[in-house]
A and B are shown apart, each in its own frame.
Chain A
Amino acid sequence: MSDHKTMTLTLIVWRQKSANDPGKFETYTAKNITEHHSFLEMLDCVNEDLIAAGKEPIVFDHDCREGICGMCSQVINGAPHGGQERTTVCQLHMRKFKDGDTIYIEPWRAKAFPILKDLVVDRAALDTIIQAGGYTSCHTGGVPDGNAVLIPKPIAEEATDAAECIGCGACVAGCPNSAAMLFTGAKVSQLALLPQGRPEAAARVTNMVNAMKECGFGNCTNHYECQASCPKGIDVKFIARMNREYLKSLFS
């Protein structure tokens, strides 16, 4: 890649040794970065320099690096996942930045997501919400025919749109109230739309909404920052649908 110009960037990164450490920002220089580096590869380069210098590398979450696992979680210049539409941090490329840029990198910040180390937060609260009702109970046995339950195509598609959520938590990180409504709305809607999810719909929405509060997430005030933060473009219409399901559950 010698034919490419390289960039030098200033990174201001949140460093925190452990959950109880107060944490602080440290400044680093990222050198020899090309436009082809992904954001995480850029951090890998910085970490290699840090390791070579005998310093602690920056700890961050990642797994698939192809935008499907939801592990990567960084607030870049004030926007979860860097603010590029429908893009996870791992899919963000350095061509979005230019030589000499200063980049702030912070962890998801919410009471429900305690920081474990540097940029890594504990998102188990989202699992707690799923455990409260984000499933359907069914009997095991022979595999039913694929066409045994008819689902109109528009409904199937809408449920699939909701199912695109990868549970990354950016919606919480972007929300001024740290509410988990987009995540929970997507999960409630995905199942409420499908016939298999209807029998438990009322109990599901009640339990999942209760779990949000117990986990310490905030209350929605309809800023719609979540949709702008979501790397999968989950629509706030699913929050409206969850609110509808909730109202219905009050009368069931």
Chain B
Amino acid sequence: MQILTTSIGRKILMAITGQLMVLFVVVHLLGNSSIFVGADGINAYAKHLHDLGPLVWIFRLVMLSFIAIHGIYGIQLTLENNAATPQAYAVKNLSKATLSSNNMIWTGLLILLFIVYHLLQFTVRVTPDIVQGVDALGRYDVFNMVVTSFKNGGIAALYVAAMIVLFLHLNHGIQSFFQTMGWNNDKTLPVISKLGKVVAVVFLIGYSSIPVFILTGILSK
């Protein structure tokens, strides 16, 4: 099929899967922010999600396929690009490329590692820091679990670091999506680039605030 073989076709697949993952990042942030309501907020939210039953599994498989498509094409694209530039310049004067745009493959792979760790920790719950229990209403106590883990400075720092990596990926990625889809011109590009950065900063601040608030004791049991 055309779209799977040409460079623009594969980029479109990467862009769509990347952007759908960004939508997930939005929803996940909204869901997580229920932790600021306290145990009642996030434990209820988690229970609602789990009550969806098989839907949860369908959703997980879809997300898995997004990350697989995006990651495999990302690796292939980077390998091809390296092959297309066999000899580096002795002097290189980049004027538009950024720390973000130059390191998409590395920030992407680091996000992948983080996702594996994050799932083992809070979804599979097998990391040593995890405390399992139920709250007064018999719901799984997500609040206690998260707060206990983030009281550990190392874990909190790791989460903030991962969010900085995500910021770097999306700082370039969000505007890149619009260009790849062709939803762009000379008037929209500067605006979309700015908005993309703003959204990436919102994710950074929003997600990081949870471990930071817990570690500093602003949010506690």
Residues of A bordering B, CB below 8 Å:
12, 25, 75, 77-79, 83, 104, 106, 109-112, 176-179, 206, 209-210, 212-213, 216-225, 227-228, 235-237, 239-247, 250
Contact = CB atoms under 8 A, between A and B. Distances in A.
A111 B88 CA distance: 11
Interface in B61-83: 77, 80-81, 83
A247 B182 contact: yes
B137 interface: no
B91 A104 contact: yes
How many residues of B sit at the interface, in one of the four size bands? Answer: 35 or more
A98 to B, nearest CB: 17
B3 interface: yes
29 contacts: A12-B90, A75-B91, A78-B92, A106-B90, A106-B91, A111-B83, A111-B84, A178-B85, A213-B6, A219-B11, A219-B80, A220-B8, A221-B176, A222-B175, A223-B101, A223-B102, A225-B96, A235-B186, A236-B179, A236-B189, A243-B8, A243-B11, A243-B180, A243-B182, A245-B182, A246-B9, A247-B181, A250-B2, A250-B3
B179 A240 contact: yes
B189 A112 contact: no
A219 B7 contact: yes
A109 B89 contact: yes
A222 B202 CA distance: 22
B192 to A, nearest CB: 10
A12 B89 CA distance: 13
B7 A212 contact: yes
List the 3 closest pairs (A to B, CB-CB), nearest first: A244-B182, A78-B93, A218-B84
A244 B58 CA distance: 32
Given A221-B176, A222-B179, A224-B96, 20 more contacts: A104-B91, A106-B89, A111-B86, A112-B84, A176-B81, A176-B85, A210-B6, A216-B83, A218-B7, A219-B81, A224-B97, A225-B94, A240-B179, A242-B8, A242-B182, A243-B180, A244-B181, A244-B182, A246-B182, A247-B182
Describe A's contact surface by its main secondary structure.
mixed
A25 B9 CA distance: 40
Describe B's contact surface by its main secondary structure.
helix
Contacts of A243: 8, 11-12, 179-182
A220 B104 CA distance: 12
Contacts of A112: 84
A157 to B, nearest CB: 13
A156 B90 CA distance: 41
A227 B189 CA distance: 13
Contacts of B184: 237, 240
Given A109-B89, A209-B8, A221 B186 contact: no
A94 to B, nearest CB: 18
A101 to B, nearest CB: 13
B81 A111 contact: no
Contacts of A228: 95-96
Contact of A218 (B12, B81, B178): B81
B185 interface: yes
